[in-house]
Structure 1
Amino acid sequence: MKTYALIGTGGRAEFYYGAIARDFKDTCKLVAFCDSNQTRMDYSNTLLEEKYDHAVVNTYKAHEFEEMIAKEKPDVIVVTTMDRTHHTYIVKALHLGCDVVTEKPMTVDAEKCQEIIDAINETGREVKVTFNYRYAPHNTKIRELILDGAIGDVFSVNFEWALNTQHGADYFRRWHRDKRNSGGLLVHKSTHHFDLVNFWLGTSPEMVYAQGGLRYYGKENAEARGVTDFYQRSHGSEAAKDDPFAIQMADNPHLKAMYLDAEKEDGYQRDQSVFGDGINIEDTLGVMVTYKNKAILNYSLNAYLPWEGYIVSFNGSKGRIEVNVREQSYINSGGNKEDEGRLKERSIKVLPMFGKAYEVEVEEGKGGHGGGDPLLLQDLFGTPVEDRFNRAASHVDGARSILTGIAGNRSLQTGQAVRVDDLVRF
Structure 2
Amino acid sequence: MKVAVIGLGFRLGYLGRVFREIDPSFEIVGYVDPAPAGMATLQENGISPGRVYETPEALLAGETFDLLMIGSPNHMHLDHIRLGLEAGLTVFTEKPIVTTVEESYALATLLNKYGHDQLLVGLVLRYSPLYRDLRKAQDEGLLGNIVSIEASEHIQPYHGAFFMRDWRRYGHYAGGFMLEKCCHDLDLYNGVVGARPRFVASFGGRKSFTPENSPEHDGINDLEVYHRKPSGWQGSDKVFDSDGDIIDYQTAIVEYENGVSMTFHTNLNVPDEFRRFCVIGSKGMAEGDFVRGFMDVHNARTNEKVVANTYQTPSATSHHYGADEQMAEDVIAFVKTGAKQPVSAINALEAGILALTMDEARLTRKVVDLKPVWEKFDDCLHGPADSSARVRSA
Q: TM-score range by the shorter chain?
A: 0.7 to 0.9
Identify if the C-alpha distance between structure 1 residues 369 and 20 changes in structure 2 by more than 3 Å, giving closer, same or farther.
Answer: closer
TM-score under structure 1 normalisation? 0.79
Residues 320 and 350, structure 1, Cα contact 8 Å, conserved in 2: yes
1:33 to 12, 31, 34: 31
Which position in structure 2 is the counterpart of 1:375?
Answer: 326
Letter aligned with residue 356 of structure 2: I
- How many angstroms does 1:421 deviate by? 4.1
Equivalent residue number for residue 209 of structure 1: 201
2:303 aligns to what?
Answer: 356
For 1:188 and 1:198, locate their aligned partners in 2 and report how far apart those are by CA, in whole Å: 17
Q: Which residues of 2 match residues 19-418 of structure 1 at below 5 A?
A: 19-26=18-25, 28-37=26-35, 40=36, 44=39, 48=42, 50-52=44-46, 54-61=47-54, 64-124=55-115, 126-217=118-209, 221-225=210-214, 227-228=216-217, 242-247=222-227, 268-325=233-290, 327=291, 345-358=292-305, 359-362=307-310, 364=312, 366=314, 367-382=318-333, 392-418=342-368
For structure 1, which segment, 124-133 or 3-12, has the greater mean C-alpha deviation from structure 2 after superposition?
124-133
Question: Kindly tell me: are residues 12 and 356 of structure 1, through their superposed partners in 2, closer, same or farther at Cα, counting changes over 3 Å?
Answer: same
Further displaced range: 101-110 or 165-174: 165-174
> Which of 190-199 and 161-170 deviates more?
161-170
Residue by residue, what CA displacement relative to the aligned partner does 1:239-281 show, whole Å, maximum 9, x if unpaired? 99622543268xxxxx5xx95xxxxxxxx45342211241211
Aligned to 2:135, what secondary structure does the other structure show?
Answer: helix
Identity of aligned residues (%): 21
Deviation at 1:207, TM superposition (A): 2.0
Task: State whether residues 145 and 283 of structure 2, in contact with CA within 8 Å, keep that contact through their aligned partners in structure 1.
Answer: yes
The amino acid across from 1:356 in the alignment is N
Residue 6 (structure 2) aligns with: 7
Inter-partner Cα distance in structure 1 for 2:177 and 2:195: 22
Distance 1:208 1:295 in 2: 12
Amino acid at match of 2:168: H
Distance (whole Å) between structure 1 residues aligned to residue 369 and residue 363 of structure 2: 14
**Do the aligned partners of residues 91 and 241 (structure 1) sit closer, same or farther apart at CA in structure 2, a change above 3 Å counting?**
farther
Shift of 1:357: 2.4
**Distance in 1 (alpha carbons) for counterparts of 2:279 and 2:337:** 29
Q: Which runs of 5+ in 2 are unaligned?
A: 382-394
Q: Distance in 2 between matches of 1:29 and 1:317?
A: 49
Q: For residues 323 and 22 of structure 1, what CA distance do their matches in structure 2 show?
A: 29
Q: Distance in 1 between matches of 2:43 and 2:205?
A: 45
Are the counterparts in 1 of residues 158 and 227 from structure 2 also a CA contact under 8 Å?
A: no
- Structure-2 change in CA distance of 1:172 and 1:363 (3 Å): closer
Q: 1:223 to 1:29 in 2, by over 3 A?
A: closer
Q: Does the CA-based 8 Å contact 1:158-1:297 persist in structure 2?
A: yes
* CA distance in structure 2 between the aligned counterparts of 1:56 and 1:128, rounded to whole angstroms: 21
Aligned partners of 1:242, 1:47: CA distance in 2, in Å? 28
Pick closer, same or farther for the CA change 1:376–1:183 going to 2, 3 Å: same
Flag the 1:48–1:279 CA change in 2: closer, same or farther, 3 A.
closer
Runs (5+) with no aligned partner, structure 1: 230-238, 250-254, 260-267, 328-344
- Say if 1:365 and 1:167 are closer, same or farther in 2 by CA, change over 3 A: closer
What is the rounded CA distance, in whole Å, between the counterparts of 2:241 and 2:178 in structure 1? 21
Structure 1 counterpart of 2:181, one-letter code: K
Is this contact kept in 1: 2:22–2:325, CA < 8 A?
Answer: no
CA distance in 2, matches of 1:82, 1:316: 38
Give 1:56 shift: 4.9
Q: 1:404 to 1:56 in 2, by over 3 A?
A: closer
Equivalent residues, number: 370
Counterparts of 2:41 and 2:263 in 1: how far apart (Å)?
43
